Structure 1
């Protein structure tokens, strides 16, 4: 292997440090946590204010309407009378009343939920409360109601915590930081600005990947909290990600992914189970010690 020139090593390390210094204040924009029962409620990230004035809720509503209309034209929209659609909407009706705990604006959202006939193992909730499940996630993982609730709670949490808005704001700040860092390094090292710009952009992208993984971790915990308050077993989250891990053996390394590894997610869920199990027990009107063991469905054979 050909060794890198000493000067290249110097500005690459400096680029990473400089970009990190510029971007480091971003997580600090969140205020001090407020301790409450269940998962701690923190203020929404103030990075949202740097998103550029985009009305995410209105934009998402239009995109969702277009998606539903296109699915209907292609006979991929499962009808309202279908038992699985009724099942999803019944679960949503139990979860949604607890949404305002995490975002007061959710009380005025026009919540919608639809099922799309697709083999994809996926689901989402857009800003403003538009939810879609793909039939593949239900059938391939043979989800119980508790596991559906965990998935739904997770996706709803992204909308409640305004992760899309915060990511847009952080992205704008990261881009500015990368440009400033690149210009500073170019002047200091006396090298082509395009080279230092590339290095600082790569460093910025690494930080943004971490932000995205942090959003996923937050959504996992809030999703368990929402499900538990609605009377769904939060232990289903562990089983859900065991099933997901079995389907995603070829996933990229965690440090290159916008999603934490399945092992990481399961570990985090288990470490917070003592906070959410009492919520589930309370919803069921029993003590934690009286809760029966969680029982799942076997994954459907391929």
Structure 2
């Protein structure tokens, strides 16, 4: 996927995207300790290495694969709304790939490099709306520069020199078998895992972005209900690094009034005319 055209000479993330939609706190100025271009270049190197390693293992699914095409079709609708939150996103060389692995995981690196693992699609039987929720959440982390802030707070101000040495893989929760050869070590970057505040913000910004793209934000509630059903004794990696629970679902419900009008507008209908969201799991009741 190619970057969107941009004629703005100086671009940056925005603390608030517009008067409508969700409202979030201002971004931490600490992130400015880490050059954004340097972090994005490092992420690109690691993403390329991950793809190469996955390809060697026969795990990088081809462009012709139906699920790859589905992800890219959804991304093509979501990405145009990213620049509302970060004008720099118009310069990113967006890319999305699918890795054939059982991991229930997905990520978006700084610079718009997205990957899904097939396990999150097949195990959770995600609808298009639910895929969009996952994608929007991960994109929101990149748009709000949470990685840049985490790096800065950890004192790793030389992103190129130090992140390249220890690797982004553990931070993102990626299977080390796919990244050890790429990074040189299977390092633990638990210190860079996103905070609960980052996760909440990514939820809300993600809901805002996908609603504008015409995907039902109520699917986020169904998604986390599904996640709660999966292997309660040993939560999947994506769940362990993205805390769920009643409080998270309650937070999303609280902000639905901010994003549902955006969704109704994208669907060119009245808010009152929208039917309840129906997932594809019978145990999940329709969400009004």
In the TM superposition, what are the counterparts of 1:1-302 in structure 2 within 5 Å?
A: 36-40=19-23, 43-51=26-34, 55-172=38-155, 212-247=195-230, 249-250=232-233, 259-298=242-281
Q: Distance in 2 between matches of 1:125 and 1:53?
A: 15
CA 1:250–1:264 in 2, change beyond 3 Å: closer, same or farther?
A: farther
- The alpha carbon displacement at 1:295 in A equals 1.1
Question: 1:34·1:42 contact (CA, 8 Å) conserved in 2?
Answer: no
RMSD across aligned C-alpha pairs, in angstroms? 2.6
Question: 1:61·1:128 contact (CA, 8 Å) conserved in 2?
Answer: yes
Unaligned runs of 5+ in 1: 1-30, 174-207
Q: Distance in 2 between matches of 1:48 and 1:236?
A: 31
1:7-36 per-residue CA deviation (whole Å, 9 max, x = no partner) reads xxxxxxxxxxxxxxxxxxxxxxxx986861
CA 1:163–1:83 in 2, change beyond 3 Å: closer, same or farther?
A: same
Q: Distance in 1 between matches of 2:228 and 2:115?
A: 22
- The alpha carbon displacement at 1:90 in A equals 0.4
Q: Distance in 1 between matches of 2:104 and 2:96?
A: 16
CA 1:35–1:68 in 2, change beyond 3 Å: closer, same or farther?
A: closer
CA 1:87–1:167 in 2, change beyond 3 Å: closer, same or farther?
A: same
More helix by share: 1
Q: Distance in 1 between matches of 2:15 and 2:96?
A: 34
Question: 2:150·2:193 contact (CA, 8 Å) conserved in 1?
Answer: no
CA 1:262–1:276 in 2, change beyond 3 Å: closer, same or farther?
A: same
Question: 1:50·1:170 contact (CA, 8 Å) conserved in 2?
Answer: no
How does the TM-score come out when normalised to structure 2?
0.75
Unaligned runs of 5+ in 2: 1-13, 157-190, 283-288
Q: How many residues align?
A: 233
Q: Distance in 1 between matches of 2:150 and 2:117?
A: 25
- The alpha carbon displacement at 1:88 in A equals 0.2
- The alpha carbon displacement at 1:268 in A equals 0.5
How does the TM-score come out when normalised to structure 1?
0.71
